[in-house]
Amino acid sequence: MLTATEKRIVERCEALMDDTLALTRDLVRGYSVLGQEHGALEAMERWFERLDLPAIRVSLDAPGFADHPHRAPTDWPCEGRYNLVAQLNAGAPGPHVVLNGHLDVVPAEPTDMWSRPPWEPWEKDGWLYGRGAGDMKAGIAAMVMAVHAVREAGVAIDFPLTLQTVIEEECTGNGALACLHQGYRGDFVLIPEPFGAQIYAGQVGVLWFRMRLDGVPAHVLDTRAGRNAIETLVEYLPAFKALEAEINNLPRQAPYDMLDSPFNLSIGKIEGGNWASSVPAHAILEGRVGFPPGMAPDEVMNRVRQCIAAHHAGLDDDSPAPRVEFHGFRSEGHLVDLEAPGIALLSRCHQDLLGGPPKAYLSTCTTDLRAFHVSGEINGTCYGPVAQRIHGVDECVEIDSIRHVLTTYALFLHRWGEEARAGGSAS
C-alpha cells in the first residue's frame, strides 16, 4: 500500500517521463565507444546542471590508480578520460546509497545492418532504439530522474547519495573502480542494467585474452614457400571450444550448478595479413572467457596459456609459439547477498508497485557490481529496464519498463531516507 507521499512521488515520475526519454535520447546521440565517450559525458553534465545536481569529473588517471591491485591492464591511454559523479550530502549521517550506470557502449558496426543509424534514436511500437538505448543509457536516465522526482514531490533527500555515470564498463571495469579509488563509495549500490525488473543474483568472472601467430610470408605463386598464419589460427578454434567445455565441466557451486553451460568462451575478433596476394605473415585473435565465482583470474590465464601451448605442441612443425597477452577484463565472479537489507527494501518497492515479489536472475556475464563487491565489499544488485538485442543490431529498450524503473528507484530512495531518519540500516 502506497502512502499519500508515495503516490505523489509516483505522479511526479509519470510527469517526468518525457524528460527521462529526452535524456536517454541525448545520451544515445553521444556514440560513446571506447575512447570516444566525451559526447555522452558532456550531455550528462548538461543534464546534471539542469537538474541542479553537482557534476564532478573523476579521472581515470588519478595518482596511484595505475597501481591499484584490481585495476585491469589496458593498452589504450587513460589520460584525459573521466567519469561523471554527482554527490549529495556526503557528510550527512546514515547509510550511503550509490546509483551507478555506465555510459560507454560497444561498437555498432556494421552500421549498414541497422534499420537506421544507431546513434540517431528512434521510437516504434513502445520501444526506443539506438546503440546503448538499453545497455544502459535508459537505466541511467531513470536513476537520475528518480532523484529529481523525489525532490519535485517535496521530499527531502538528506541522506548520503552518489550518482555515478562511468566509462569502461564494457571492457575493464576501471571506471567504477576509479570512483571507489577516489573515495566515492557507499554502503549499497543499485545498477539499472537492462536485465528487467528482477533481482540480479550473481555474475561470472570474465577474462579477455589476445593471441598472435606469426607465419612466413611468401608470394602466392608458391604458397608452399610460406606458412599461412590465418589458416593456422583457424586450427586453434576447436581447442578453445574444448577449453570452454573443460571449464563448464568443473565441479560448480550453487546456483551455477543448475545452468547448462554458464561459462562461455567467445572469439570476438580476428584480423591478419596485409595483402590479398601474399601468404599472411601474422594473425591476431581476441577472445573472452567466462569462469565461475571462486576461481581466480590467474588460474584462468594459466588455463588459456596451457590450451594454446598444448595445441601448438601438437602441430609439431617448428613454428614459433604464439604470443599470448591479457588486456582488459580480468574480473572475478561473485554471488550477491540476497539477504542484504537494501535488497529487501528494493523487493518491497517492487512488490508494492507490481503486486508480487521480484524474481531472481543469475547472470552469465559481468557488470560493475564486481568493483563494488571485490574492491569495496559493498552490497548491491542490478535492477533495470527490459532491453532487446543488446550488443546487437537494432538494440532497443521497452519504454514502459523505463517508467517502472524510474518509479521503483524513486520509491526506493524515499523509503531509504525514511529508514535512515528512523535510525535503521538500509544497507
* Predicted local distance difference test score (pLDDT) of residue 173: 97
**Domain spanning 205-331: CATH 3.40.50.720:** no
Question: C-alpha angle 221/211/365, rounded to 5°?
Answer: 135
- Which of 150, 132, 152 is closest to 140 using CA atoms? 132
Q: Over the stretch 78-123, which tens digit does the pLDDT of each residue have?
A: 999 999 999 999 989 999 999 999 999 999 999 999 999 999 999 9
* Predicted local distance difference test score (pLDDT) of residue 377: 87
- The single residue listed with the C-alpha cell 520501444 is 127
Check: CB of residue 426 under 8 Å from CB of residue 341.
yes
pLDDT tops 80 at residue 319: yes
CA dist., res. 286 & res. 293, Å (int): 23
CA end-to-end distance (rounded Å), the chain: 23
Cα atoms in the 13 Å half-sphere on the side-chain side of 17: 14
Cβ atoms within 10 Å of 238's Cβ, excluding its own:
10
pLDDT bracket for residue 386 (50, 70, 90) = very high
Where residue 315 falls (left for φ over 0; alpha for ψ -120 to 50; beta otherwise) is alpha
The mean per-residue pLDDT over the stretch 38-54 comes to: 98
pLDDT bracket for residue 376 (50, 70, 90) = confident
CA dist., res. 332 & res. 155, Å (int): 39
Q: Where are the alpha helices (DSSP H) in 210-322?
A: 229-234, 237-248, 297-315
CA dist., res. 90 & res. 28, Å (int): 30
Q: Over the stretch 264-293, which tens digit does the pLDDT of each residue have?
A: 999 999 999 999 999 999 999 999 999 999
The mean per-residue pLDDT over the stretch 316-342 comes to: 94
- Type of residue at 84: L
CA dist., res. 177 & res. 369, Å (int): 10
**Would you list the DSSP string of 59-118?**
ETT-TTGGG-TTPPP-SS--TT-EEEEEEE-TT-SS--EEEEEE-------SGGGSSS-T
The mean per-residue pLDDT over the stretch 198-216 comes to: 97
The domain made up of 4-203+334-421 has a fold known as Aminopeptidase (3.40.630)
* Predicted local distance difference test score (pLDDT) of residue 375: 80
Task: Give the sign of the dihedral formed by CA 392, CA 361, CA 338, CA 203.
Answer: negative
ω before 255 within 30° of 0 (cis)?
Answer: yes
Task: Name the segment(s) of the chain with CATH classification 3.30.70.360.
Answer: 205-331
- Which of 227, 246, 244 is closest to 322 using CA atoms? 227
Check: CB of residue 27 under 8 Å from CB of residue 44.
yes
- Which of 416, 408, 406, 415 is closest to 19 using CA atoms? 406
Task: Name the segment(s) of the chain with CATH classification 3.40.630.10.
Answer: 4-203+334-421
Assigned C-alpha cell, 11: 505522479
Q: Where are the alpha helices (DSSP H) in 115-203?
A: 138-152, 174-181
Question: C-alpha angle 37/41/43, rounded to 5°?
Answer: 125
Q: Measured between alpha carbons, how far is residue 47 from residues 51, 53, 425 in Å?
A: 6, 8, 31
* Predicted local distance difference test score (pLDDT) of residue 424: 65
* Predicted local distance difference test score (pLDDT) of residue 421: 87
Residue 351 three-state SS: helix
